[in-house]
Structure 1
Amino acid sequence: MSESVVSWSEKDVIYWLHQQELAELLPTFSAHQIDGKTLLCLNDYDFRSSPLSDLKLSTRKKLQLSVKCLQRENHASLIALGIVESNCIGINSMGLSYDSHRLSHEESESYVDSERISPPISIDGRSTELKPEIWKAGLSIAYAFLVMWLTSLVMVLVHDRVPDMKIYPPLPDIVLDNVPHIPLAFALCELLGALLALIWAFVLLFHRHRMILLRRFFALAGTVFLLRCVTMLITSLSVPGTHLKCEPRDPKENTAHGFYDELLDKMSRAFVIWRGGGLSIRGVRTCGDYMFSGHTVALTLLNFFITEYTNSNYLHIVTWIMNLFGIFFILAAHEHYSIDVFIAFYITSRLFLYYHTLANNQALMQRDSNRTRIWFPLFSYFESSVDGIVPNEYTNIYEMITDFYCWCVEKQYFCFMNIKNIIRFVIVHSHEPNDCIITDEGSNQNHISVKKSQ
């Protein structure tokens, strides 16, 4: 028997009646061809009407309780079928009414109540339509790169404000005080991050809905790092490790040059950080950017996206191990305080979960759409066309090449036809003073008709 009640056949319903010890209902259910969908649609009015009203009281109550339990277990299917609105109370504790405030004793009102249309959503919660919307992916990438540039500039500013190590020693930290310094740990952390990024790149390459994944990744990354800019700038923590050589720039040195020279110097230093991705293995060394850890953000974000959009449990275990070991290496290198790492992991994981919870259940949250647009404007724009879960569907290399070839041919033909029409239009207008109308007749022939002026 199928697990989904919606897909039950009449035989499945008969088998279910045997399980519920309601074999006396077999003739009635067979005569009326009751399948899984019909069984889920039974409401109070049906039990008060013939033929169910003709049953013995005990049998009718047993059936009513059994159907009620079945509906509770398949509430999402009721929403998908349009029986229950997403913002309705649902099945109450006193019966099968779909909305206790709209219950009626008349057939017409009961029929209207059971035929409500819910927002579009599939039975299994998947989105009904998934458009690539390449421009949104491009916009999210531009947003993330702009935030990364702003982060680099803020890192330059906080580096100049880092507290003097001679006056402000490292703060007490329960982890750093008990874990010895490992010199190569930070490089190992960045290598783990690079490996996670490579795995994520392969997932994007073969995932059928790669554009949706791409815009979600860069939208979340940009938002988290934008928040990091604020936390870095408002409070400067002392250097966490004595092995670090961090000295603030002399204020007199800053004022010795002109304003534009100083601005150009900061921009050039920010570009070095931006170009190197803030990685020490690429020669970037900064101080003061502690609250919160950008390396932890990158590791956690990559781990969560890989586990969300892949199906292999073994891969999930590997990425989680890499994430946790990366965090350990950050602390073992004494590059961040424990609070930096904890806050980074918490904020990144919460934002990821909140974003995907909202995205996967948008069809159930139509009442809060205005609030969502106010508090989550980026989410509201990027996920406006998604009403459910994005399925993990993958393409092979042959399909990718075929799709890319068809896309190129389509764009080439479109550009060729536009150029061809423009040239014809210009030629006709340059040699003929009369009004010209350019029309396309058929799929392979362009026709120019000239309307003579009277």
Structure 2
Amino acid sequence: MVYNGGATAFSVMEWSSEDVKSCLKKEGVEDDTIRILCDENKLDGKCLLMLNENDFALDPISRLTLRDRKKLYFVSKTVQRENQNILIDLGLLENPSGSIYSPQPQYNKLETRLESEYGDSERISPPISEDGRPRYPPEKTKAFLSFLYVVAVTWITAFVMVIVHDRVPDMKKYPPLPDIFLDNVPHIPWAFDMCEITGTVLFTMWLAVLLFHKHRFILMRRFFALSGTVFLLRCVTMLITSLSVPGAHLQCQPRNYPTQGSLRFSDLAKKLSQAYVIWRGAGMSIQGVRTCGDYMFSGHTVALTMLNFFITEYTPRHIYYLHTFSWMLNMFGIFFILAAHEHYSIDVFVAFYITSRLFLYYHTLSNNQALMQRDSIRTRVWFPLFSYFESSVEGIVPNEYETLGEIISNICLLIKSTYNDVKMHVTVAAKSSSSSTTTNHVMETVSRTIVENNKNK
């Protein structure tokens, strides 16, 4: 945020004394006052942001006219209100609703009350840069760990899908359950393939966002963490209760495996093989994967909704055509799932609700790091992945993009840096080997000399 009355369009933390002087002139402050504040006392943007009521009671501000003091007070209050995130990062503001001008501000009272209520709970706050501007480190290691997390969860999901397929109720004894939507919409055979095509389009759009987004590793980390968590929850709901097949067109028969003797290992091997087929095909029918029993809740709806929310969150707000198109694909994909009679309506509703709520809760916490500071121990217990992955992110991640030329340049720099690192390690290893060889040669020479001297004696 920047003060609209300022002379520049960048952060107030970057204002020089000249920028503050220009700002005060626009507010009608007297030239003598501006000279005292900006020329003699070097009032810059940081100082303006940190002014409080105690400063107004001291020289040189206390010697100003009432009119100029009020104008300076108005400017400082406006700047501080528009830069509350910076004040929170600097530790100058704990409660945005509290006044930062009173001698005993409300945030001090809030801090005292929280400390008395929660004891000595450790406060966690992300590190800030020296200039006070938020930092967004890529932390590629965390992105890689989140990728391993989602890969492990998809494997678990595939194995659970094999188990629930073998537990599917007999279609002759347990017909489809009553469902308002399925009972009133005829079965459309090609609808499920259309659902997966819409998902593929959304996934392609998301890959394009990741390619050009400046903070792509943060986005990847969040996407993998949220997707893995939702699908891990889906494994639990699939195992707990087995619903009957939603459509009569589905041919679902449980596979019978031997459960005694040495054939148990063969049974497990077959299940793992079938799980690999599901995992390799991403559970999609267009990849030849057909399963039953994995109804509560819909994995296709989870994928569609997660992709839609990430696309709309990490693209500029003015590209509303893209957002509208993304939401249309999400809604049509859900309709195709139901029209294909592959899931009950409750499966789709619960999947959409859980995915959207978890996405919003996660981003609400990550965008408001001050909420984490209340009790870090509870945060780490209830949200361990969040506490780890978001520990270094400061506020809302801006939607900043790189051009294709910048991406190519960054790749070239990465390759060059990697090459130099490898070259340096090889050189160090060669020098170490050469030094070791020289030392061995000297030792051998000394040994031969000693032996010859002994022989001569």
Contiguous gaps of at least 5 residues in structure 1: 18-22, 104-117, 437-454
Alignment-derived partner of residue 87 in structure 2: 79
Q: Which amino acid aligns with 1:405?
A: C
Distance in 1 between residues matched to 2:442 and 2:379, nearest whole Å: 52
Tell me by how many angstroms 1:385 deviates. Answer: 2.1
Classify the secondary structure of the residue corresponding to 1:248: coil
Tell me by how many angstroms 1:205 deviates. Answer: 1.5
Q: Which amino acid aligns with 1:226?
A: L
Classify the secondary structure of the residue corresponding to 2:182: coil
Contact 2:86 2:132 in 1 (8 A): no
Query: Which of 282, 285, 306 is equivalent to 1:280?
Result: 285
Query: Which of 375, 380, 394 is equivalent to 2:382?
Result: 375
* Change in CA separation of 1:163 and 1:256 when aligned onto 2, cut-off 3 Å: farther
Tell me by how many angstroms 1:38 deviates. Answer: 6.0
Distance in 1 between residues matched to 2:165 and 2:302, nearest whole Å: 20
Contact 2:196 2:286 in 1 (8 A): yes
Residue by residue, what CA displacement relative to the aligned partner does 1:364-392 show, whole Å, maximum 9, x if unpaired?
Answer: 63333322222222222222222222222
Classify the secondary structure of the residue corresponding to 1:246: coil
Q: Does 1:223 align with 2:232?
A: no
Q: 1:366-405 residue pairs with structure 2 within 5 A?
A: 366-405=373-412
Tell me by how many angstroms 1:415 deviates. Answer: 1.6
Contiguous gaps of at least 5 residues in structure 2: 7-11, 111-124, 444-457
Query: Which of 387, 408, 412 is equivalent to 2:419?
Result: 412
Contact 1:161 1:248 in 2 (8 A): yes
Classify the secondary structure of the residue corresponding to 1:433: helix
Alignment-derived partner of residue 342 in structure 2: 335
Q: Does 1:245 align with 2:251?
A: yes
Classify the secondary structure of the residue corresponding to 1:175: helix
Tell me by how many angstroms 1:346 deviates. Answer: 1.2
Query: Which of 22, 39, 45 is equivalent to 2:54?
Result: 45
Q: 1:105-184 residue pairs with structure 2 within 5 A?
A: 127-128=134-135, 130-184=136-190
Contact 2:36 2:60 in 1 (8 A): no
Greater displacement, 6-15 / 258-267: 6-15
Contact 1:163 1:236 in 2 (8 A): yes
Query: Which of 344, 354, 364 is equivalent to 1:347?
Result: 354
Alignment-derived partner of residue 3 in structure 1: 4
Query: Which of 281, 303, 310 is equivalent to 2:308?
Result: 303
TM-score by length of 1: 0.78
Distance in 2 between residues matched to 1:418 and 1:147, nearest whole Å: 37
Distance in 2 between residues matched to 1:373 and 1:309, nearest whole Å: 26
Greater displacement, 151-160 / 94-103: 94-103
* Change in CA separation of 1:435 and 1:146 when aligned onto 2, cut-off 3 Å: farther
Tell me by how many angstroms 1:421 deviates. Answer: 2.7
Residue by residue, what CA displacement relative to the aligned partner does 1:90-135 show, whole Å, maximum 9, x if unpaired?
Answer: 218x9575337579xxxxxxxxxxxxxx96558999732x322222
Distance in 1 between residues matched to 2:252 and 2:408, nearest whole Å: 51
Classify the secondary structure of the residue corresponding to 1:177: helix
Alignment-derived partner of residue 111 in structure 1: none
Classify the secondary structure of the residue corresponding to 1:407: helix
TM-score by length of 2: 0.78
Tell me by how many angstroms 1:88 deviates. Answer: 7.8
Greater displacement, 62-71 / 203-212: 62-71
Alignment-derived partner of residue 198 in structure 1: 204
Point out the structure with the larger helix share.
Answer: 2
Aligned residues: 412
Distance in 2 between residues matched to 1:60 and 1:97, nearest whole Å: 24
Q: Does 1:91 align with 2:99?
A: yes
**Identity score, percent:** 54
Distance in 2 between residues matched to 1:39 and 1:428, nearest whole Å: 60
Distance in 2 between residues matched to 1:172 and 1:376, nearest whole Å: 38
Classify the secondary structure of the residue corresponding to 2:171: coil
* Change in CA separation of 1:304 and 1:367 when aligned onto 2, cut-off 3 Å: same
* Change in CA separation of 1:144 and 1:71 when aligned onto 2, cut-off 3 Å: same
Tell me by how many angstroms 1:194 deviates. Answer: 0.5
In angstroms, what is the RMSD of aligned CA positions? 3.6
